[in-house]
Amino acid sequence: MRLKLISCQVFCHEVAAVARKSPHDIKVEFLSKGLHEIPCAQMAGRIQQSIDATRMADFDVVLLAYGFCNHGIAGLKAREIPLVVPRAHDCVTILMGREKSDGYRATHPGAYYQSSGWIEHRTNPAELDALSTARRNGLYATRDEFAARYGEEHADYLHEQLGLHTRHYSQLTYINSGLKKDAQYATKTAAEAQQRGWSFEEVPGDLSLLQRLVNGDWVGDDFLIVPRGQRIAASYDKHLIKAEPDEAP
């Protein structure tokens, strides 16, 4: 098969590893991790542009290396070429495997996750940073910026309250996919955890979901196949996502 894989940058190293083992002809396009920081409709719009730019004459199927990501892929349409996407909550599910990630999150509710691709692309392009929900809501503003905008009497309070977005985290977990750069990035993550006063754990990843995606092994409940003329929608059950007719003009 001729496959076009549209992937988040978070999976840059993992996708390269599994694509080399695929029996199919694969072209990979990476989109910025920063798409996750902008409103969901805008994120889906950027991905849809890449889907629509894929010519039916060149490819049989478009693969998406994305989780559902808080409705970030909801509404994506298979206009001319079928889509295949993993049934996964987010990148953690894809990097760790469905059962393992569900179990780990249940026992580590305060964990924040990192991987090699996440670390390499943690700084967003300026254009996406300006559009990000966090930036527009002032989550990254300094105390002096609050003072200049709202006055000294409000600056301390606003800086403290808007800086609480990390208050629920108490651990950094590094997902090691067994690739070349994992050791050095795990060390960096451990140092960051120590600096924050958080605990640290390194856990092995599982690339079987990505490998099956690029191998064309889509049998079972782990993948959603979206036929031409249909779109991705939330299913609000254990399957996460479903295909439904695209009734939009």
Instruction: Please indicate, yes or no, whether residues 118 and 161 belong to a single structural domain of this protein.
Output: yes
φ/ψ of residue 97, rounded to 5: 95, 150
Nearest Cα to Cα of residue 3 among 63, 71, 53: 63
Residue 49 pLDDT greater than 80, yes or no: yes
Give the model confidence (pLDDT) of 72-90 as tens digits. Answer: 899 999 999 999 999 999 9
Tell me the pLDDT band of 22, cut-offs 50, 70 and 90: very high
Instruction: Please indicate, yes or no, whether residues 16 and 109 belong to a single structural domain of this protein.
Output: no
Instruction: Please indicate, yes or no, whether residues 38 and 73 belong to a single structural domain of this protein.
Output: yes
Give the model confidence (pLDDT) of 142-173 as tens digits. Answer: 545 545 655 665 545 444 544 444 568 899 99
What's the pTM?
Answer: 0.85
Range of the domain at 134: 94-204
Q: How far apart are CA 222 and CA 202, in angstroms?
A: 25
CB–CB of 96/39 below 8 Å?
Answer: no
Give the model confidence (pLDDT) of 199-226 as tens digits. Answer: 999 999 999 999 999 999 999 899 999 9
As given in the structure block, the two tokens for residue 169 are 């985290």
Lowest mean pLDDT among 58-67, 159-168, 237-246: 159-168
Q: How far apart are CA 221 and CA 142, in angstroms?
A: 46
Residue 248 pLDDT greater than 70, yes or no: no
Per the prediction, the chain carries an average pLDDT of 87
Taking residues 31-36, what's their average pLDDT? 87
Kind and range of the H or E run holding 83: strand 83-86
Nearest Cα to Cα of residue 62 among 228, 194, 233: 228
CB–CB of 168/110 below 8 Å?
Answer: yes
Number of domains observed in the structure of the chain = 2
Nearest Cα to Cα of residue 118 among 192, 53, 168, 55: 192
Instruction: Please indicate, yes or no, whether residues 196 and 215 belong to a single structural domain of this protein.
Output: no
